[in-house]
């Protein structure tokens, strides 16, 4: 059985320790603030999360860049030269052009390495939802499943990766085109907090709202309880926009209510955080198909 390497991008928002333990290759995406660009490495070597969120709090605007074919080619070539096949798992194609860049790179590399397998998966996931999918792939790899078996599991199960988000600042959604200026203004006035998910097409869409932050978080937990499948033994992922205390409170509430194994908490990285903003809380788990969740 040919050995293979899992290659993904830094939108997975996984802790550096998990990335190391899983043995995956993470291609850093780029965030730019006031003309200076930083690559979003899992170990935060170029920009620390707390520094990034302090920048956002100062009302500076951050922009992001998708991966280009050369980025994918460089990451894959390193492992192809060592005799590995490649399983590439990309950020949702509905939110970024990075998956299409992987397609272009793979076409070129298959011609140069005809003896190697390069399998591409469009995760249709975001943040630690993508990270959760990648984690399952890595666990299957560690259990000695071949690349095609792992890829098929991903295709069969990616629609079961449920995403729930709430944000603190509606203006970030307005800037990203997810909310009209009028709705953002009115929502801010009455403290309306949207609840969003990533749908079956990989798009971020609103599914409800709540008056106030605490009510929004409680409604998210209610929805988890309604849509999660076989919570026993599941490890949920919870990411946050520099609001650790609230994230830990939510983790405690989830574990008091549901028989899950654990809830892994980590900061939303600068690439996703540029669009979601300070104070975002998001939770990810295996549940019903997203169209039904």
Grade residue 226 by pLDDT with cuts at 50, 70 and 90: very high
For the residues 212-231, what does the mean pLDDT come to? 94
Pairing of strands 281-286, 161-166: antiparallel
Q: Quote the DSSP letter at residue 266.
A: E
- Given a contact cutoff of 8 angstroms between Cβ atoms, the answer to whether 201 and 126 are in contact is no
Our measurement of the distance from residue 30's CA atom to the centroid of its chain's CA atoms, rounded to an integer in Å, reads: 15
pTM above 0.95, yes or no: no
Grade residue 171 by pLDDT with cuts at 50, 70 and 90: low
Other CB atoms within 10 Å distance of the CB of residue 212: 12
pLDDT digits (tens, 9 = 90+) for 176-196: 444 444 343 333 433 678 898
């Amino acid at each position: 059985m040919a050995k293979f390497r899992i290659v993904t991008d830094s939108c997975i928002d996984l802790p550096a320790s998990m990335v190391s333990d899983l043995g995956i290759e993470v291609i850093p995406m780029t965030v730019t603030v006031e003309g200076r660009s930083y690559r979003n490495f899992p170990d935060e070597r170029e920009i620390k999360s707390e520094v990034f969120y302090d920048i956002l709090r100062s009302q500076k605007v951050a922009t992001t860049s998708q991966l280009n074919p050369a980025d994918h080619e460089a990451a894959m070539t390193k492992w192809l030269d060592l005799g590995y096949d490649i399983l590439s798992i990309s950020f949702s194609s509905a939110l970024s052009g990075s998956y299409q860049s992987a397609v272009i790179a793979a076409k070129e590399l298959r011609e140069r390495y005809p003896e190697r397998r390069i399998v591409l998966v469009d995760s249709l996931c975001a943040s630690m939802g993508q990270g959760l999918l990648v984690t399952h792939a890595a666990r299957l790899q560690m259990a000695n499943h071949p690349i095609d078996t792992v890829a098929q599991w991903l295709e069969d199960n990616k629609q079961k990766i449920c995403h729930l988000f709430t944000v603190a600042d509606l203006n970030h959604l307005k800037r990203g085109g997810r909310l009209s200026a009028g709705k953002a203004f009115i929502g801010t006035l009455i403290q309306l907090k949207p609840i969003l998910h990533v749908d079956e097409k990989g798009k971020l869409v609103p599914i409800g709202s709540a008056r106030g932050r605490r009510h929004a978080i409680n409604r998210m937990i209610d929805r988890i309880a309604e849509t999660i499948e076989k919570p026993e033994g599941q490890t949920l992922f919870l990411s946050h926009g520099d609001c650790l205390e609230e994230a830990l409170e939510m983790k405690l509430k989830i574990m008091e209510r549901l028989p899950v194994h654990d809830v892994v908490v980590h900061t939303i990285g600068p690439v996703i955080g540029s669009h979601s903003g300070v104070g975002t809380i998001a939770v990810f788990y295996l549940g019903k198909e997203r169209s039904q969740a």
